[in-house]
Amino acid sequence: MSTAARRDKVMDWEPGTLPKVDYGAGCYIFDTDGRRYLDGSAGPAVYALGHAHPEVNEAIKKQLDRIAHGYRYTFTSAPLEELTAIVAARCGGGLNNMTFNSSGSEAIESAIKIALQYQTAIGQKSRRLFISRERSWHGNTMGATSISGFAARRAAFEGALMPSNLISPANVYRPPSGYLAKSGGKIDPVEVGKYCAQELEDKILELGAERVAAFVFEPVVGAAGGCVPAPPGYAALVRAICDKHGVLMIADEVMCGSGRTGTWRALAHDGVEPDIMTVAKGLGAGYVPLGGTIYHDRLKGPMFAKDGGLLTGHTFTGHTLACAAAVAVQNVITRDHLVEKVHDDGLHFEQLLRRAFADNPHVGDVRGRGFFWAIEIVKDKLTKAPFDPSLAVYQRFRDRCFANGLICYPVGGNVDGKAGDIAIFSPPYIATRDELATIADIAKASLDQVLADLA
Ligand code: PMP
C-alpha cells in the first residue's frame, strides 16, 4: 500500500510505511532521514507549544523523579489540585469542577455520564437521550461515536450504537437545504443561526423534552466540518432553548478549546457558558495523553448530595505526571500571553490565508478563528459542487504539502461527497509571523500544483 493510502487508515499502521519521526524543535519535526517539516497543524491540532519545549520537558522529568501516579481512591496530588485551579480560573464563572482522564473520547464519555447522573439526581431519570449535529466528531469510544455525526466513522458500528438524534450543523457556507428553500438561496448568517437553533427546539419537542438529557456540540467544528465557527447569536439561542426545556448544554472543546481559537474557552467568544465542557488536545499539548471534563457548580450539588461524588472514573483519572505536564504547559501559555497572541496573530493568519487563496477558483471558503483555519476546495466555486471524492483532492494536497515540507491536518478531505475537500491549518501557538507566512506560501504553491495536475 502506498504511503498516501496508508496515511488514510485510522489505526492500520505498519512499520516502514510512513517516515519515522526522530525529534522535534519548536514548530519543526525531523524524521530519521533528516528531513525537516513545518508543523502547520500542530499534529491533530494538539502541540500548542510546539515540540520539545524545555520547560515542559523539565517539569515532566522533575515529576517523574518524585512519583508518576498517585491513584485517585488513595491520593490527591499537588499537580492535580494546581491544574484544577488553573482550569477553573481560565474558565471563569461556575465552571469550577472537573475530572481529568487520558483522551478527548474519555472526556466525552464522562460528559455523557455526568449529564445522565445529574438528570437522575434531580429526579429526571426519563432524560436519557442526546441530541448532537451532523458533520461532528466526538470520539472513538462507543458513546462518543454514538453522538457523532460522522457517517463514515459510524457506518461499521451502526446497530450497536446508542440512538442518535442529529440536527444540522450551523454552517454558513453550507446552510441546511430547508433554510435555502425558505430564503430563496440568500444566506444571512444570523438567520442561518436562528434556523439551526430552531431545529434544536423542534428536535427536543419531537423526542419529548422529558426524554432529552443534553445537547452536544462543538462551538467551532473541528475535523468533521473543517473549522466552522457558529454564526453570531447561535450559541446564545441554543443556550436559551436548552434552559427552556431542562436540557443540558455540553460544549465539546476537545479540539477548539484551551486557547486554540483565541479565547481559552472557545464558547467565551459567544458570551455563553455551557453546563458541561470537554477539553483535551491543547490542555497537555501532546506532551502527555490528557483530557478533561469540566462541569458547572449547579450540577455538582445535586449529584454529590445523592451519590457522594461522580459515578465515573478510570484507573488513570487525575494522573499525577499528566497533570504536572499540563500545569507546566498552561503556565507557559499564561506567562507568555499565548492565548492573546493566538487571537492577535490569528487575525494576521486569516489575512495571509485569504490573500493566498482569494483568487483561487477552487477555494470556496476560508473560515475559522484564532489558529484554527480551514479552506474548502470545490470543483465549482459558484455552485459549491465538490470534486468527485474518488479524485482524493485533499489527499493529493496534503501529500504535496508534505513533500514540500509542510504538515497540514492529516485526516479530512471530502468525507461524504456532500461538501468540498477540507484542509485544516492549526499551527502551534508559538508559531511566528514568518512561520505563519511560510504555511500560507507552501499551502498555496502545493494547491496550485495539485490543481495543475488535475487540469
Ligand atoms: N471531540 C473532538 C471535537 C475531537 O476533535 C476529538 C478528536 N479529534 C475527540 C473529541 C476525541 O478525542 P481523542 O482522539 O483524544 O479521543
305, 335, 365: which is the final residue of a domain? 335
DSSP string, 259-286: TTTSSSSGGGGGT---SEEEE-HHHHTT
Do 290 and 347 belong together in one domain? no
Q: Which residues pair with 368 in a beta bridge?
A: 373
- Phi first, then psi, for residue 132 (nearest 5°) are -140, -165
Do 261 and 158 belong together in one domain? yes
267, 302, 335: which is the final residue of a domain? 335
Do 46 and 88 belong together in one domain? no
Do 417 and 372 belong together in one domain? yes
Nearest to 444 by CA among 352, 371, 368, 378: 352
Identify the pLDDT of residue 1.
41
Q: How many helices (H) and strands (E) does the chain have?
A: 16, 16
Do 322 and 181 belong together in one domain? yes
Residue 386 sits in a domain of what CATH number?
A: 3.90.1150.10
The predicted-structure confidence for 115-167, as pLDDT tens digits, reads as follows 999 999 999 999 999 999 999 999 999 999 999 998 889 999 999 999 999 99
Residue 225 sits in a domain of what CATH number?
A: 3.40.640.10
Mutate to test the pocket of ligand 1, among 105, 133, 277, 316 (most ligand atoms within 8 A of CB): 105
Identify the pLDDT of residue 11.
47
Identify the pLDDT of residue 6.
47
Instruction: Tell me whether residue 110 is exposed, middle or buried, using C-beta atoms within 10 angstroms of its C-beta: 0 to 12, 13 to 18, 19 or more.
Output: buried
Do 308 and 198 belong together in one domain? yes
Q: What is the mean pLDDT of each run of 10 residues along the chain (455 residues)?
A: 48 71 98 97 97 98 97 94 98 98 98 98 98 96 96 92 96 97 97 98 98 98 95 98 98 98 98 98 98 98 98 96 98 98 98 96 97 96 93 93 93 74 96 98 98 94
Hey, what's the cell of 414? 471530502
Question: What's the gap in Å between 223 CA and the centre of ligand 1?
Answer: 9
Q: Which residues pair with 214 in a beta bridge?
A: 130, 248
Cβ atoms of residues 175 and 192 within 8 Å: yes
Cβ atoms of residues 419 and 376 within 8 Å: yes
Do 316 and 428 belong together in one domain? no
Sheet of 28-31: strands edge to edge? 21-25, 28-31, 36-39, 406-407
Using the CB atoms, write b or e for 344-363: b if 16+ within 10 Å. ebbeebbebbeebbeebebb
Identify the pLDDT of residue 417.
74
Mutate to test the pocket of ligand 1, among 102, 145, 254 (most ligand atoms within 8 A of CB): 254
Do 281 and 345 belong together in one domain? no
Hey, what's the cell of 282? 491543547
335, 370, 397: which is the final residue of a domain? 335
Q: Which atom of ligand 1 is nearest to the CA of 256?
A: 3
The predicted-structure confidence for 285-307, as pLDDT tens digits, reads as follows 999 999 999 999 999 999 999 99
Do 429 and 297 belong together in one domain? no
pTM of the complete model beyond 0.90: yes
Q: Domain range spanning residue 445? A: 3-52+337-454
Do 315 and 397 belong together in one domain? no
Do 97 and 11 belong together in one domain? no
Do 298 and 354 belong together in one domain? no
Nearest to 377 by CA among 427, 434, 443, 293: 443
Number of domains in the chain: 2
Q: Which atom of ligand 1 is nearest to the CA of 105?
A: 16
Rg of the chain (C-alpha set): 21
Identify the pLDDT of residue 12.
52
Hey, what's the cell of 97? 469542577
Cβ atoms of residues 327 and 82 within 8 Å: yes
Cβ atoms of residues 31 and 15 within 8 Å: no
Question: What's the gap in Å between 42 CA and the centre of ligand 1?
Answer: 14
Q: Which residues pair with 294 in a beta bridge?
A: 98, 277
Hey, what's the cell of 306? 445523592
Q: Which H/E stretch holds residue 296?
A: none
Question: What's the gap in Å between 451 CA and the centre of ligand 1?
Answer: 31
Residues with CB under 6 A from ligand 1: 44, 103-105, 108, 137-140, 218, 222-223, 252, 254-255, 280
